[in-house]
Amino acid sequence: MYNQEQLRHISKQFQIYGELRHAELCKIGHINETYTATYDQGGTKVRYVHQKINQGVFRKPGQVMRNFVRVTRHIRQKLEQEGADQITRRVITLVPTLDDKSTYRDKNGDYWRSFVFVEGVQTYEAVETPRQAYQAAHAFGLFQQQLVDLPSPRLHETIPNFHNSRLRFQALTKAVEADDFGRTASARKEIEFALKQEKIVDVFLNAMKKGKIPERITHNDTKFNNVMLDNETGEAMCVVDLDTVMPGCALYDFGDMVRTTTSSTLEDELDLSKVQMRLPMFKQLARGYIDATSSFLTKAERSLIAFSGKLITYTIGIRFLTDYLSGDTYFRVHRPRHNLDRARTQFKLVESIERKEETMQKFVDSL
């Protein structure tokens, strides 16, 4: 963890005018290390974000940043052409280093970047109202729509095979066989559940291979807490966490919204009786997403909308389970068995989605 002195040094590497007053570690997110920093700029308090890229996860920070710059520039141009207001609240603004680079590399070899802090918005760990679900889905749908015409070349795959459920499944079976940490006994039920679902893992991969569903530019981490909602109006202003924006399948994004907004609980809820797919939330999600994407979403994609929630929830579930069995090296954990708890919660949600899948799809078909 970085101390104030080191952070002060890092803060001086960017084109920020003013003096750093204080910085706080932001505890949300399992991967990168993020600080909110307050500066005094001509007597006014101004906030920025400083973030250290996790190089264990993002092996090629240069590619992550090249994607980032292209994507945010494209969206900004669109907003400008439309005459949108408050553009720095609608798309993340990167603050360059003193020598005009997108990141600063410190003496430990860590890569740091800075953003303008978006004021007057809030992120939530759990969705509170159906309107919030609509707003979030609309925002992620809009994000895909804004990038439909991103000029070539193809974006870098910042984490190759990120949502490849078949490879995630293989990683799980490998971790079970290896049992390097002697943890399989404590996760017997979860492993059994995960293995039983094998039949679903290839559905998107096959559909994409056969050309039934197209490759698109997708966000790939559409957790509810990655969308910023305006404090006053509740409108979704901006989506954040753009490191996994890359070529993918539109349904991955919808699926992860189902995972993170349809249950009233957090992803590590211990009381499984509370973990449920709530239909009113799903309906608003589907509405918001389809409203924003109707100009390009194909029939084939729409036909898999309900299923996508199950598949992505399952896939993230097996990733948590694999990480638990492998000694918790990927996702940041805050207690023993944290990843196992997370996996269990995902699997409970998978079961709940499965029970309502038909009703969910019928609703989508009616839109």
Summarize as ranges the residues that interact with Mg ion (CB under 5 A): 221, 241
Q: Does 57 bind ligand GN1 (CB under 6 A)?
A: yes
For residue 104, the minimal CB distance to ligand GN1 (Å) is 21
- Kindly tell me which of 13 and 352 has the beta carbon lying closer to ligand GN1: 352
d(CA 136, CA 138): 5
CB of 36 or CB of 97, closer to ligand GN1: 36
Task: Measure CA 291 to chain center.
Answer: 21
Q: Applying CB under 6 A, does 67 fall inside the site for ligand GN1? A: no
In angstroms, the CA 27 to CA 24 distance is 9
Q: State the nearest-atom distance from the C-beta of 337 to ligand GN1, in Å.
A: 16
Closest C-alpha among 39, 42, 84, 243 to residue 155: 243
Q: Which two tokens stand for residue 51?
A: 């973030």
- Binding range to ligand GN1, per CB under 6 A, among 23-31, 106-114, 140-148, 178-186: 23-31
CA distances from residue 37 to 25, 34, 111 in whole angstroms, order as listed: 9, 10, 17
CA atoms of 198 and 56, how far apart (whole Å): 28
Secondary structure letter of residue 158 according to DSSP: S
Q: With respect to ligand GN1, which residue has the nearer C-beta, 13 or 54?
A: 54
Residue placing its CB nearer to ligand GN1 in the complex, 227 or 364: 227
Residue 26, contacted partner among ligand GN1, Mg ion, none, CB below 5-8 A by kind: none
Tokens of 120: 């007057």
Decide which of ligand GN1, Mg ion, none touches 168; Cβ closer than 5 to 8 Å per partner kind. none
Instruction: Specify whether the CB–CB gap between 315 and 290 falls below 8 A.
Output: no
Structure tokens at 209: 């291979």
Out of 316, 321, 325, 364, point to the residue binding ligand GN1 (CB under 6 A): 316
Least distance from ligand GN1 to the Cβ atom of residue 341, Å: 12
Query: Residues touching ligand GN1: how many (CB under 6 A)?
Result: 10
> What residues between 204 and 223 interact with ligand GN1 by CB under 6 A?
221, 223
Nearest one of 268, 283, 359, 249 to 316, comparing CA atoms: 268
Among the residues of 246-337, which ranges form H helices? 250-261, 279-293, 299-302, 305-325
Q: Residue 39 corresponds to which amino acid?
A: Y
CB of 260 to ligand GN1, least distance (A): 8
Find the binding residues for ligand GN1 in span 250-269 (CB under 6 A): 267
**Residue 244 binds to ligand GN1 (criterion: CB under 6 A):** yes
Instruction: Tell me the closest approach of the beta carbon of residue 246 to ligand GN1, in angstroms.
Output: 11
Q: Which helix (H) or strand (E) holds 49?
A: strand 44-52
- Kindly list the residues in this chain that would bind ligand GN1 in the complex (CB under 6 A): 29-31, 57, 221, 223, 241, 244, 267, 316
